[in-house]
Chain A
Amino acid sequence: MKIAGTAKLPFTPERAYALMQDPLILAKAIPGCDALDKTGDDEYRLKMKMVLASLSGSFEGKVRLTAPDPPNSFRMLVEGSGKIGFMKGEGLIKITAAPDAGVDITYEGDAQIGGTMAAVGNRMIDMTARMLIKRFFEKLASEPA
């Protein structure tokens, strides 16, 4: 599944970049995130709850931030598995100063789901992914500038 889209954040590029590298901020902004613990350079252990169609369950996995190019772009890899299946996603996140104010975020990547989630939640996964990403950026936008 391809994931791509845009979002707006009311920050400078430097502030936006820094927020998205901060595990405490990410833990607050990722919907359903219970914990995000640093396990290495740019690598975090993730625990999150996921609700998809008739399924719900917790995931354990990892988040990796790679290819840092502050304050312009970085890559993010998220993978996790739990009782209801597994998910894996990777994408490039770009930050550009918006002509009016704040920054424009564009993201582009691939995601894969498997197990019961794929068998049962496939109809919903597109919408669910878009909704989760939207919530993530909304939450991020509420951080102080």
Chain B
Amino acid sequence: MPVSSIVKLEKLVGKRLRRREDPRLITGTATYVEDVKLPNLHHAVIVRSPHGAANIRSIDISKAQALPGVLAVYIGKDIVGVGTVPCGADLPGLRRPAHHILAQDRVYLVGHPVAVVVATDRYIAADGADLVEVDYDVLQAVTDPEKALAPGAPSVHPEWPDNIAFTFHQNGGDIDAAFAEAEVVVKQRITSQRLVPNAMETRGVVADWKSNDRSLTLHTSTQIPHLARTLLAGMLGIEENRFRLIAPEVGGGFGSKLNVYAEEALMGWISMQLGLPVKWIESRRENFMVTIHGRGHVDYLEIAAKRDGTILGLKLKLIQDLGAYHQLLTPAIPTLSVLMMPGLYNFRNIQAEIIGTFTNCVPTDAYRGAGRPEATHGIERMVDILAAELNMDPAEIRFKNFVRPEQFPFPTATGLNYDSGDYANTFQKALDTIDYQGLRTQQAEARAAGRFMGIGISTYGEICAMGPSVATPAGGWESATVKFEPSGKVTVLTGTSPHGQGQETTFAQLTADELGVPIDDIVVLHGDTSIVQYGIGTFGSRNTAVGGAALFYALQDMKEKVKKFGAAMLKTDEVIFEDGHCLDPKTGASVTVQQIAGAAYRGIVIPKGMDPGLVVTKFWEPPNFTYPFGAHIIVSEVDPETGQIEIKRYVAVDDIGNQLNPLLVDGQLHGGAAQGLGQALWEQGVYDDNGQLVTGEFMDYTMPRARMMPWIESSHTCTPSPVNPLGVKGVGEAGTIGSTPAMVNSVVDALSPLGVRHIDMPMTPEKIWKIVNGSKA
């Protein structure tokens, strides 16, 4: 073998590489569900209930059936043998309403699917849908979870007149002793309003049944291709290996596509009925109405403390607005809030009660942060309220109560085991960055001048890298396959389903570094159940921390394989693998991985005990969650004449462990902060008492826009996670979790000279103006 000169390759992990996905995303050449066109494609439009609660007296589909171009009209009684929409969450005593894919004899929310019209084009289908006549006997709806719990409230499901889907208790330590010992107790009702996730791409499904093969191909905009396939196969009664589910480009999910929806099963069923491909694309108004909402909390919080600021314990009564049904994880989301309730603080006594409440609204479920933003908002508000009560500085009270570095791993009152951290260090960095003492001086001057300037702190922790399988409904591991092609090119198949998170780039960076191949030789594939081995999908900041770890281990196995082939080719026992070469240290002879790949497939030199080919698949089970943390500080000023809030500065210091690509980390933090500030300042999903969603379009639902965003001064501390070999923790939700309480604390601080102690979100100019000007909100 010739002795080659080995060129050191530049390491790519940790570099700010631009996403390889971007060219297709920004030139409009990416393929979304709406772009999928099949021969003889038919189109479906769904007739939905305009009432929050009603009995269906009759449905007349004759006029719709008679419309030229309409192929079929189906109603609830036609859907025989199709399973109900699944809920993967299991809680003791959970009441599970049967969630049929078309309403049977009653509708439970505005938007409830009542009939579906299939036609040769979408416009004819829409005209047909207008011709379906439904006679409703309208019933009284209930949309506010506290009103739903009141005696005499209308029943969402008549079989459960109290509207309670479940109650759940989680206690830790000795709460009675903590409150007995307390020198001060503060109480506050804190809400976390319904939010509409508003992915840029609405949902959509194309179903294509081939009766001769008994096989179904379903294109759907989902975060969980394999789990969705398993669950939909069960609903439709077909075998998983005859069911190909493809998540093409997915234009945002934020948890709203971590689900299995009625329309996915419905389109599969229709295609099987008609033997034709069928497409349904959700309109924006439907997206507001029937895709899950996030949050929906009313929390009653009590905190017990000593006069020196030491927190002793926390009581929480959490009323969760579940909506009319359970979607995939609906009842589980508030349990995540309870887990995260202690925040970063060193107290061991907690008493939490969740009352899961049915309302005539669309179900709530996972939305960016899923339970943790609500918890962080609650505890961070309470700590500020306690500080105000004790006349302490909000920074000082946090330092006093942080879990200390020597306490890790730290078992919390709610049964978690925090992996690592130095909370005081990260917080101090944020305070130094923003010049906290200087700001307090400025604030005193501003107040003397009659201005309303506020400084809001949030120090958050969160649960990422979901998660160990025991803690998840459907497995918490992840999978990766690494394949050398005979040419030496590398194909990576990940069981995660990235949709904007950029793993086609970061996983290629990792692969390039580990295997010593050029990044352009690497392709990362995902989202097609016929191409990729089973995987769990994308949610809970798990892509890199679990999927990346699975890939890392697959790459280690691949390196071992490559070394064995390399040694056989070099006719030696031991080789060193580096920079894409196997090197015999005794002779200096080497072969490249590309040569090795060719030889492995050619099959002439097969090492003893090995098979030809170079393919490795690894499934990896994480031993724990990861626990990122950070400190966000927002300086704001309120204009008393308009109620407008101006964000003067936003400093974020996040500890997310190691970073594969800091550019993508920035992107996640900025997007997360936009959604968190959206909740704090503008967004709210509002139902009227009759069950009408009155914020049903962008004219009535204020989305954050680029011009409304502050400059975010972002920096990091780094305590690598001991849970996975990459030392990463996850960053998908950090911005959303950290930003919201920082914003609210800032405005409450600004208005505290007026005696303001708490403001419920969103802090719209109207609400702020009313507070400042003394009228009741």
Contact = CB atoms under 8 A, between A and B. Distances in A.
B22 interface: no
B39 to A, nearest CB: 32
Given A85-B50, A86-B50, A118 B696 contact: yes
A116 B777 CA distance: 28
Nearest to B694: A122
B692 A118 contact: yes
Interface string A122-141: 11000000000000000000
Secondary structure at the A interface, as helix, strand, loop or mixed, is mixed
Contacts of B50: 81, 85-86, 114-116
B285 interface: yes
B694 A118 contact: yes
Interface string B691-727: 1111111011000000000000000000000000000
A30 to B, nearest CB: 22
Contact of B697 (A86, A112, A113, A120): A120
Interface string B157-187: 0000000000000000000000000000000
A122 B685 CA distance: 13
Interface residues of A, number: 15
Contact of B699 (A86, A116, A120): A120
B285 A112 contact: no
A119 B285 contact: yes
B51 interface: yes
A112 B110 CA distance: 14
A114 B110 contact: yes
Interface in B655-692: 688, 690-692
A119 B690 contact: no
B288 interface: yes
A83 interface: yes
Contacts of B690: 112, 114
Given A112-B690, A114-B110, A114-B690, A120 B51 contact: no
A122 B130 contact: no
B583 interface: no
B614 to A, nearest CB: 56
Nearest to A81: B50
A119 B288 contact: yes
A116 B688 contact: no
Contacts of A83: 130
Given A112-B690, A115-B50, A118-B693, A123 B130 contact: no
A120 to B, nearest CB: 5
A118 B695 CA distance: 8
B599 interface: no
A85 B694 CA distance: 13
Given A85-B50, A114-B691, A122-B688, 16 more contacts: A81-B50, A114-B51, A114-B690, A116-B285, A116-B696, A118-B110, A118-B694, A119-B110, A119-B693, A119-B694, A120-B285, A120-B699, A122-B694, A122-B695, A122-B696, A123-B699
Interface of B: 50-51, 110, 130, 285, 288-289, 688, 690-697, 699-700
Interface of A: 53, 81, 83, 85-86, 112-116, 118-120, 122-123
Of all A-B residue pairs in the complex, the 3 with the closest CB atoms, nearest first, are: A119-B696, A115-B50, A118-B692
